[in-house]
């Protein structure tokens, strides 16, 4: 990655010199909480700029940008009054990867009605399938006044490259959210996350197989169940993130904990990809990341959704099988003689487990650049991120963590996810459902967190390399 950036900078400098020569003497840019995004210009480029000779000009914002700037200095109640004035009697259109935006909207309307009992707003919420949300938002952005007021969207890589870099989506940071996170809208440089969700390694424990290391999931004859990376692209972001120095280091540490037999199995692949790691400019442990990625892609058993993966793993018939899936799916398991949450184990919860425990990705909230109801969109976003009721549509799920620490604390007090496996008698009947929480997962649990900026950068080199790998399903 570093080599590619250097080449890019050299090419840019060369082009600039050529343009000056041609023109003679004429004169002439990531949840806790979340995956933060750096400024548009790299730090080294910013540092290279000459000192300002004039006093910096004041911002001259117009349209949606001016509204967002003003809204970021307002309380939620002030935004609510603006929303009432703007959208009373109108229809609000939202679009998102999560259908629960539709569940949150009636609660939002009820909140506005506590301020003005005569307020009323109709709404429609769309959830495009097959990653069509990006095409839909792009098409809507071409209108003078768009259809969609806001969006709840995932996949940091595509958000950055297709939505933010193209100015289709706009980030609004609610005042109360910023304060809860110890910052301000002006100081915060990332996108606004509603929540972080985690996908974790699990395995069926009714047989003899044990998974004490993240490398065990790609050991010989293992074919973990996983949503295909071409069906759910956040799965690809997980693989990109493994090449970042921090997570590559985790994989190296886990490799070092393996016995000689396991190391001998993985070493040929590690050496095979070492030159690729150098070509991509990865850090000293990059080859371990690429080796894990290669073996994962070539061995995972592609599935269409996390629900069927969960249903398979909790059945006794799935003896010794494993998977990487959304943690909250365990909440919907119906116990029977052959199906039970106690038929599986969460790998990272087991004593002595080494390495990454899963990965976390965000649902982000944005206004559209041509939002027909921008004040209402800001108020709705503030409501979802700054109140327990606003987040309640997602709050019942373990493994989904509000980006607002105050709301996260309220949600835990209400739903007690830390004791999600306890029965009415106070017994821990299903230990796998006892969520250890965001802080545990992002430290001890070694959860890999999505960073949109890094993913967008890695997609060019590492992403193209992943496309050359033969998937297990294709090999069959």
| d(C-alpha 103, C-alpha 246), whole Å | 37
Using the predicted structure, report yes or no on whether residue 27 has a pLDDT greater than 80: no
* Percentage with pLDDT > 70 across the chain: 87
Strand partners, 199: 326, 359
Model's pTM, two decimal places? 0.85
Using DSSP's 3-state secondary structure scheme, residue 401 falls into strand
Q: Which residue has the tokens 């792009």?
A: 138
Render pLDDT for 75-112 as a digit per residue (tens, 0 to 9). 999 999 999 999 999 999 999 998 899 999 999 999 99
Using the predicted structure, report yes or no on whether residue 410 has a pLDDT greater than 70: yes
Q: What is the pLDDT of residue 346?
A: 98
Q: What are phi and psi of 165, to 5 degrees?
A: -60, -25
CA angle, 98 as apex, 186 and 129 as ends, to 5°? 120
Q: What mean pLDDT is predicted for residues 196-223?
A: 96
Q: Which is it for strands 322-326 and 358-368: parallel, antiparallel or unpaired?
A: unpaired
Angle between helices 260-272 and 245-256 (to 10 degrees): 140
Q: What mean pLDDT is predicted for residues 268-295?
A: 98
Q: What is the pLDDT of residue 12?
A: 41
Q: What is the pLDDT of residue 188?
A: 96
Q: What is the pLDDT of residue 44?
A: 32
Using the predicted structure, report yes or no on whether residue 373 has a pLDDT greater than 80: yes
Render pLDDT for 203-213 as a digit per residue (tens, 0 to 9). 999 999 999 99
Confidence band, pLDDT 50/70/90 cuts, at residue 278: very high
Using the predicted structure, report yes or no on whether residue 30 has a pLDDT greater than 80: no
Q: Which residues, 6 or more positions from 101, have their beta carbon under 8 angstroms from its beta carbon? A: 94, 125, 127, 152, 393
Q: What is the pLDDT of residue 43?
A: 33
User: Domains of the chain, with CATH numbers?
Assistant: 63-195+362-418 (3.40.190.10), 198-357+428-475 (3.40.190.10)
Burial of 283 (0-12, 13-18, 19+ CB in 10 A): middle
Confidence band, pLDDT 50/70/90 cuts, at residue 215: very high
More confident site: 242 or 55: 242
Using the predicted structure, report yes or no on whether residue 169 has a pLDDT greater than 60: yes
| d(C-alpha 308, C-alpha 213), whole Å | 24
Render pLDDT for 142-156 as a digit per residue (tens, 0 to 9). 999 999 999 999 999
| d(C-alpha 127, C-alpha 145), whole Å | 21
Render pLDDT for 430-446 as a digit per residue (tens, 0 to 9). 999 999 999 999 999 99
Q: What is the pLDDT of residue 103?
A: 95
Q: What mean pLDDT is predicted for residues 221-228?
A: 95
CA dihedral 207, 213, 218, 219 (to 10 degrees): -70
Using DSSP's 3-state secondary structure scheme, residue 263 falls into helix
Q: What is the pLDDT of residue 60?
A: 83
Q: What is the pLDDT of residue 59?
A: 66
Residues in the chain: 476
| d(C-alpha 270, C-alpha 258), whole Å | 14
Q: Which residues, 6 or more positions from 235, have their beta carbon under 8 angstroms from its beta carbon? A: 226, 227, 228, 229
């Amino acid at each position: 990655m570093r080599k590619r950036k250097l080449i890019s900078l050299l090419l840019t400098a060369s082009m600039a010199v050529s343009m000056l020569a041609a023109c003679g003497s004429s004169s002439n840019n990531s949840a806790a909480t979340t995956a933060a995004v750096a400024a548009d210009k790299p730090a080294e480029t910013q540092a290279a700029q000459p000192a300002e000779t004039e006093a910096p000009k004041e911002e001259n914002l117009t349209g949606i940008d001016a509204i967002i700037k003003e809204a970021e200095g307002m309380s939620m109640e002030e935004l609510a009054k603006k929303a009432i004035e703007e959208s009373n009697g109108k229809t609000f259109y939202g679009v998102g990867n999560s259908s629960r935006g539709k569940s949150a909207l009636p609660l939002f309307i009820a909140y506005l009605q506590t301020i003005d009992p005569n307020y009323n707003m109709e709404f429609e919420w769309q959830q495009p399938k097959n990653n069509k949300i990006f095409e839909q938002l792009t098409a809507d952005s071409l209108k003078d006044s768009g259809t969609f007021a806001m969006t709840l969207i995932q996949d940091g890589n595509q958000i950055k490259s297709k939505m933010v870099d193209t100015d289709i989506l706009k980030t609004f940071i609610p005042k109360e959210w910023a304060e809860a996170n110890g910052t301000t809208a002006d100081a915060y440089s990332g996108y606004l996350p509603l929540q972080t969700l985690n996908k974790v390694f699990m395995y069926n424990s009714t047989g003899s197989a044990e998974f004490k290391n993240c490398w065990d999931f790609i050991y010989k004859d293992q074919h973990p169940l996983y949503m295909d990376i071409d069906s759910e692209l956040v799965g690809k972001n997980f693989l990109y993130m493994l090449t970042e120095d921090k997570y590559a280091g985790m994989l190296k540490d886990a490799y070092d904990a393996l016995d000689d037999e396991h190391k001998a199995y993985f070493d040929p692949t590690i050496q095979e990809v070492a030159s690729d790691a150098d070509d991509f400019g990865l850090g000293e442990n990059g080859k371990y990341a690429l080796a894990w990625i290669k073996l994962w892609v070539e061995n995972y058993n592609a599935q269409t959704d996390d629900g069927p993966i969960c249903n398979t793993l909790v059945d006794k018939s799935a003896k010794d099988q494993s998977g990487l899936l959304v943690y909250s799916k365990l909440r919907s398991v119906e116990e029977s003689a052959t199906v039970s949450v106690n038929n599986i184990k969460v790998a990272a919860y087991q004593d002595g487990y080494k390495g990454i425990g899963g990965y976390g990705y965000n649902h982000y909230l944005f206004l559209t650049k041509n939002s027909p109801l921008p004040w209402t969109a800001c108020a709705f976003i503030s409501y979802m991120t700054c109140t327990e009721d606003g987040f309640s549509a997602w709050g019942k799920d373990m493994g989904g963590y509000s980006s607002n620490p105050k709301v996260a604390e309220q949600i835990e007090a209400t739903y007690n996810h830390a004791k999600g496996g306890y029965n009415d008698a106070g017994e821990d009947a299903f230990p796998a459902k006892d969520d250890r929480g965001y802080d545990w997962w992002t430290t001890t649990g070694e959860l890999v967190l999505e960073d949109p900026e890094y993913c967008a950068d890695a997609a060019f080199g590492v992403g193209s390399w992943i496309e050359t790998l033969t998937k297990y399903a294709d090999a069959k």
